[in-house]
Amino acid sequence: MTMQNVGRPTRPEGSADAAGFQSLTGGRALLQDEALLFELDGWDKTGVDLPACELDASDLGDLVRDDLKLPGLSEPEAVRHYVRLSQKNHAIDLALYPLGSCTMKHNPRLNEKMARLPGFADLHPLQPVSTTQGALALMDRLAHWLKTLTGMPAVALSPKAGAHGELCGLLCIKAAHEAAGQGDRRTVLVPTSAHGTNPATAAFVGYSVTEIAQTTDGRVDLADLEAKLGPHVAAIMVTNPNTCGLFERDILEISRLTHAAGAYFYCDGANFNAIVGKVRPGDLGVDAMHINLHKTFSTPHGGGGPGAGPVVLSEALAPFAPAPWIVSGVAGFDLVEQDAGFGRLCAFHGQMGMFVRALAYMLSHGSDGLRQVAEDAVLNANYVKARLSDVMTPAFPDGPCMHEALFDDAWLEGTSVTTLDFAKAMIDEGFHPMTMYFPLVVHGAMLIEPTETESKQELDRFCEALRALAAAAKAGDAERFKGAPHLAPMRRLDETLAARKPKLVWREEPTTVAPAPLAAE
């Protein structure tokens, strides 16, 4: 039994594939069957020879881990294990990755090469500042580009991700209100279509959250916003372009109303890639905005690892930015603390590898190239919308979209096929599903973001696959969808049970050598 097995067969090897043939080993040509690491043999061996320890660990007390339960793999076994697993995963290097609102685009290898240069890759956060001058110069140049592209006078580089950037921006806003003697402003207004991190971050800071209604064309309802603004409101949090893939046409009026009420305008910059080089948020009246470097400037997604979400700040909020700041003087660059603001956001300044990758992307494009990034992202999304609108139903059919095309499930009515079924069937065609059921304001949402790094040829391949699946759904081929995916390494899981009773811990059973997965409670 695998850890993924939650009450139904999940491996496709037990049944014939579409051609009526199955192998004797469970492999599929070059895609070899591979067990999970904990299912492999080798619990009584090690892949390396280490000398005996000269000193004991008695001074560590109960911090000693006396028996680490991991299988022992030789180098070839370890390499083959992870290579085989990598062949079972979708990746941006394999095909288009159409997640909407998540911008999964190609990461140029030039960026990776630069990030591995000595002096960047081997930095230690406690090095003397005199030995990190090149890194500080790079961070200063990155800050200059971010301020120039956004039209904002200050930037904090230390936030580690988008949500961390939201925290930074709201803490700046909170500090500014308290400094002005308006600490009683305790409400943040958030549109109904916002990313979930917006209300979550506001609540984490201690604010109460009030929703702003949405118009039928997918934008902020100005009348509702104006009615809810008042002396109790600290800030609004608006994404622009918004989560429906649309530009907020009334953004200047939103800004005017917000500032007239004494509140600050926080802009979720998750979709800055749609307007970079075309629109400066500072010109729109934005007071704070985080920038997801992985979305706009092609650094890898965090995934539990490195990430960066710098926050640009208006003149009103700049004095309340977190420490430390990079300053330049006769002795070179230095990192200094400052008395104002809310203190430090984290122990060290930020993710150096992300800074290097982002600046490499900026310099390789130039200002005109970054403008084309936004133009191509919007062009590609509108091409996908145009190619699919006759077989799927756009959530907001009137007018163009921005960087992502949003469809609802109205076109599936009467087919017994759901958004989830359709997404699972995409896996059989070799494509990662689009974002499903988000934003929540659209029923059965299918949010597609092709990004600017996809060619017309790849977009056509993707659109033809979706058109063929749409035709199959409308023709009554429900089994294709209800049983999907048929060809993936793992079949469809009981996702509800898996979410409610996940098997996350492995234990060694007394009657076996290898640990077995913890049974669901």
Quick one: average pLDDT of 265-282?
A: 96
What pLDDT is recorded for position 464?
Answer: 96
Instruction: Provide the pLDDT confidence category of residue 78 given band limits of 50, 70 and 90.
Output: confident
Instruction: State yes or no: pLDDT of 502 exceeds 90.
Output: no
Most trustworthy range by pLDDT among 65-74, 324-333, 339-348: 324-333
Q: What is the mean pLDDT of residues 211-236?
A: 97
The pLDDT confidence band at residue 11, using thresholds 50, 70 and 90, is low
CB within 8 Å of 498: residues ≥ 6 apart: 4, 6
Average per-residue pLDDT in the chain?
A: 88
Distance CA 117, CA 353 (A): 10
- DSSP for 347-365? SSS--HHHHHHHHHHHHHH
Mapped onto helix, strand or coil, the DSSP state of residue 10 is coil
Q: Residues of the chain with pLDDT > 90: what percent?
A: 66
Q: What is the DSSP letter of 301?
A: P
Element (H, E) at 110: helix 109-115
| Nearest alpha carbon to residue 214 among 172, 183, 242, 174 | 242
Which of 40-49, 51-60, 492-501 is modeled with the greatest confidence? Answer: 492-501
Position 234 scores a pLDDT of 98
Measured CA to CA in angstroms, residue 414 lies from 115, 146, 244, 394, 476 at distances of: 52, 49, 25, 18, 9
Cβ density class 167-181: b for 16+ within 10 Å, e for less: bbbbbbbbbbbeeee
Domains of the chain: 27-50+70-88+489-521 (no CATH), 112-363 (3.40.640.10), 372-486 (3.90.1150.10)
Q: Of 31-45, 202-216, 245-259, 435-449, which gets the smallest average pLDDT?
A: 31-45
Edge-to-edge strands, sheet with 393-394? 393-394, 405-408, 446-448, 435-436
Answer with the residue of higher pLDDT: 203 or 340: 203
Query: Per the omega criterion (within 30 degrees of 0), is the bond before 433 cis?
Result: no
DSSP track, 211-259: EEPB-TTSSB-HHHHHHH-STTEEEEEEESS-TTS---TTHHHHHHHHH
In this structure, of 268-277, 366-375, 472-481, 496-505, the range with the lowest mean pLDDT score is 496-505
- For residue 512, the SS3 value is coil
pLDDT at position 14 is: 47
- The pLDDT tens digits of the residues spanning 22-51 come to 666 677 777 888 888 877 777 777 777 778
Q: How confident is the model at residue 9 (pLDDT cuts 50, 70, 90)?
A: low
Q: What is the pLDDT of residue 5?
A: 44
Please say if the pLDDT value at position 242 is more than 70: yes
Q: Are 324 and 347 in contact (CB under 8 A)?
A: no
Name the percent of the chain lying above pLDDT 70.
90
What is the mean pLDDT of the segment spanning 365-391?
97
Q: What is the pLDDT of residue 351?
A: 85
pLDDT surpassing 60 at residue 494: yes
Task: Check whether 98 has a pLDDT greater than 80.
Answer: yes
Per-residue DSSP letter, 321: P
Q: What is the pLDDT of residue 230?
A: 97
| Residues paired with 405 in a beta bridge | 448
The answer on pLDDT for 511 being more than 70 is: no
pLDDT class of 6 with cuts at 50, 70, 90: very low
Cα 93-95-100 angle, rounded to 5 deg: 105
Q: Looking at per-residue confidence, does 112 or 45 come out higher?
A: 112
Structure confidence at residue 263 (pLDDT)? 98
Tens digit of pLDDT for each residue in 181-215? 999 999 999 999 999 999 999 999 999 999 999 99
Reading the block at residue 80, the tokens are: 């083959």
Region 86-108: mean pLDDT is 89
Per-residue pLDDT at 57: 77
Rounded CA-CA distance 473/488 in Å is 20
pTM for this prediction = 0.88
In this structure, of 127-141, 170-184, 290-304, the range with the lowest mean pLDDT score is 290-304
**What is the spatial distance between Cα 161 and Cα 301, in angstroms, rounded to a whole number?**
9
